[in-house]
Amino acid sequence: MRRAHAINCRAVLFDCDGVLVDSRQAAERAWTVWAHTLNVDPQKVLLGMHGRRSVDTVKLHISERNREPAFALIEATELATAPSTRAIPGGVELFADVHSRAAVVTSATSILANARLAAAGYPAPLVVVSGSDVSTGKPSPQPYLHAAERLRVPIDECVIVEDSPAGVYAARAARPARVIIVGRAVPPRGGDIAVRDLRQVRWAHGALHVFTS
């Protein structure tokens, strides 16, 4: 039997990769190429790159004097893979419905995030908070708090939609009205709601309606 959860909210803050778009294979391919080019162990790179700003991943593996060209390399490599990005099922429809009250909060740069969203068929977001817009990226709540400020909506009247461990940690720490977790990488707890993909989420009458089994 399906259960319906109605969440009254004024804004929806979406992570990008893994929530709105499926870029996992493209991103892992890009980071693997990057690692081999710079003689870094690709397995160590892939282990901690999801949900983390590229600049923070680069810092983990590259000496300070070489970080700027290393960051430029991964940005160019990921941009080259952006056309292969596809939408998460249900994402385009939901995002279109909440477009005027939505923000995209991503650890990627705004250029890369917008390229992936466009390739997947999304309308251009009105608000994008990228990894370069904050001093501390996920798992800090700062990106989500900044997005709520830009939308001029209190964070406790926002719903955050996330998928990665770092992102979910950031979302919970921001203390929104509710956290919706997409996929199975992070088990729900407390007031979290878990969905397979965004086909289980609808917007109607000022509320998100989430259907779970």
3-state DSSP helix/strand/coil % of the chain, to nearest 5: 45, 20, 35
Coil, strand or helix at 123: coil
Q: Is residue 74 exposed (0-12), middle (13-18) or buried (19+ Cβ within 10 Å)?
A: buried
Our answer to whether residue 97 is catalytic in this structure is no
Cα torsion 106, 110, 115, 121: sign: positive
CA distance 126 to 119: 17
The torsion defined by the Cα of 187, 154, 90 and 165, in degrees rounded to 10, comes to: -30
CA distance 8 to 141: 21
Cis ω for the linkage preceding 139 (within 30 of 0): yes
Could you list the active site residues?
Answer: 15, 17
